[in-house]
Amino acid sequence: MPVKMRLARHGRKRYAYYHIVVADSRAPRDGRYIERIGSYNPNTNPATIDLDFDKAYDWLVKGAQPTETMKAILSYKGVLYKKHLMGGVKKGAFTEEEAEKKLEKWLTEKDAQIQAKRDRLAGEENAAVKKQLEAETKLREAKEAAIAAKNAELAAEAAAAKAEEEAVDAVEESVNAVEESTVDEAKEAVEEKPAENEEAPKEQGAES
């Protein structure tokens, strides 16, 4: 029975993730499988790969044929490298212990590379967030400055209007005071004239 290692699609549209399975090559892509040996999520950066290393290696040795994508995953996780090393052991190029040490060294370096990439991406993300916050702060400060300037302008206009109103009131009070004074003077003049007229006849009578 021809056996393949391949991906079985799951998840929703535009956010798919995959199960890594060993299945009969004649079975539908997302149909029945013999064994599930991991998962692959390309939606993260870097992609998240959860693979049972030993099972993947055992199936590879047994003759399971990986698809092109699975070859890339097996290479990324070091399964193909282990197969290569074990081939060297069979040829007598080095011992199995040396092969294990080489594999361990390779896996350590690979993990360091992955972690370095994660750190770099996290740093870039933090820098982007910081830059965005700075831009938002500048925008907020500009808005606050514009509002403060507008409030100052309105306050100045209100103060000018109040001063003008007070000046008008002062002028009106002055005019009213002058008018009241004029009216009082006129009244006094009117009241004094009859008294003068009354004294005149008396004087004429005395002379006669």
Strands (E), the chain: 3-12, 15-24, 35-41, 48-51, 65-66
In a shared domain, residues 52 and 79: no
Question: 11: domain CATH number?
Answer: 3.30.1320.10
Domain shared by 59 and 87, yes or no: no
* Same domain for 85 and 45: no
Q: Do 46 and 114 contact (CB within 8 A), yes or no?
A: yes
Query: Could you list the residue range(s) of the whole structural domain that residue 2 is in?
Result: 1-66
Tell me if 174 is assigned to some domain: no
Q: Is residue 190 part of a domain?
A: no
**Exposed, middle or buried: residue 7 (CB in 10 Å: 0-12, 13-18, 19+)?**
buried
Model pLDDT, residue 41: 95
Q: 46 and 101 share a domain?
A: no
* Judgement on whether residues 53 and 109 belong to the same structural domain of the protein: no
Any domain includes 34 = yes
For 110-120, what is each residue's pLDDT tens digit? 999 988 988 88
Q: Is residue 180 part of a domain?
A: no
Closest CA to 46 of 144, 113, 140: 113
Number of domains in the chain: 2
Residues 6 or more apart whose CB falls under 8 angstroms from that of 42 comprise: 16, 17, 18
- At residue 204, the pLDDT reads 52
Read off the pLDDT of residues 168-195 as tens digits, 9 standing for 90 and up.
888 777 777 777 777 666 666 666 665 5
CB contact at 8 A, 10 and 16: yes
Distance CA 196, CA 185 (A): 17
The reply to whether the predicted model has a pTM over 0.85 is no
In a domain, 100, yes or no: yes
Q: Is the pLDDT of residue 197 over 70?
A: no
Looking at the structure, do residues 3 and 52 belong to the same domain, yes or no?
Answer: yes
Amino acid making up residue 191: E
